[in-house]
Amino acid sequence: MNNIKISAVAYTNTKAFIYGLEHSDIINKIDLSLDIPSECAAKVISGEVDLGLMPVAAIPFVPNANIVADYCIGSDGAVNSVFIFSDVPVAEIKTLRLDAHSRTSNNLAKVLLKFHWKLEVEFTTDPTVKTDAIVLIGDRTFGKKEDFTFVYDMGEEWKNFTGLPFMYAAWVANKEISQEFKTEFNAALKFGLAHRSEVLKDLPQIPNFDLEDYLYHKLQFDVTDDRKKAMNLFLAYIEQLEKVSV
Ligand SMILES: C=C(O[C@@H]1C=C(C(=O)O)C=C[C@H]1O)C(=O)O
């Protein structure tokens, strides 16, 4: 049988999952690549890989999308790595630069600005343009909160807005995956989560950032009913963004 091709996120948030895959026999049955989230999305959509840790905002673009695992990248309130960093209070944001690494959080910023804060904001992806605020995700945000005057944790703001937890990325396949593989895959992910203390030992200390709190509390990894509900609500809001009002 051919190996299953997998694209996982190359951030600290995925380290426990990688640990689990690498310490299970499943490692011999997969070809694993580590990518930034926007690249994971592109690979799952194009079929370059069979499954990936897919930014949920891009799931509607995956042919035959199916969630194959009981684990995800989620939070219940603040996540501490998905931010709008701003020079002005949120009510005064007129322009915002999106993060080229992101698919989910860029859309989450648009949803929150329009429907939670009820603002009309101009978005750019051009890194040379100066904007009032930026979206930044992942390890590049660690210890950066003190560098900005106004800091909005989007996991926390989503919870304020909807009362729900959030799911940033899920393990999504673009084809049927055998139940046998799914069972083994889930067991490997679970093993990794149960060994977060081992993962922590191998991570370098980061100034102004609590990695233990991040891996054990801020990040939440279970695909719960509320997280699925949040995903569906989020995807419905994204569709509303696309609608041109007349
Ligand atoms: C919590 C995070 O979740 C993520 C955010 C993603 C996105 O914005 O597209 C995708 C995958 C996850 O890595 C993070 O990156 O900090």
CATH annotation of 4-74+166-223: 3.40.190.10
Q: Report the 3 state secondary structure along 93-134.
A: CCEEECCCCCCHHHHHHHHHHHHHCCCCCEEECCCCCCCCEE
pLDDT in tens, the chain (246 residues): 799 999 999 999 999 999 999 999 999 999 999 999 999 999 999 999 999 999 999 999 999 999 999 999 999 999 999 999 999 999 999 999 999 999 999 999 999 999 999 999 999 999 999 999 999 999 999 999 999 999 999 999 999 999 999 999 999 999 999 999 999 999 999 999 999 999 999 999 999 999 999 999 999 999 999 999 999 999 999 999 977 655
Amino acid 242: pLDDT: 73
- The residue whose C-alpha atom lies closest to atom 14 belonging to ligand 1 is 138
**What does pTM read for this prediction?**
0.97
Q: Does the structural domain 82-162 have CATH classification 3.30.420.40?
A: no
Domain boundaries, the chain: 4-74+166-223, 82-162
Please give the distance, rounded to the nearest whole angstrom, from the Cα atom of residue 138 to the centre of ligand 1.
Answer: 6
Closest atom of ligand 1 to CA, residue 38 = 9
**Same fold across 4-74+166-223 and 82-162:** yes
CB-defined site of ligand 1, < 6 Å: 9, 11, 13, 37, 55, 73, 79, 81-82, 102-105, 137-138, 168-169
Please give the distance, rounded to the nearest whole angstrom, from the Cα atom of residue 171 to the centre of ligand 1.
Answer: 13
Alpha helices in the chain (DSSP H): 15-22, 37-46, 104-111, 154-162, 179-194, 196-202, 211-213, 225-242
Apex CA 203: angle with CA 201 and CA 204, to 5°?
115
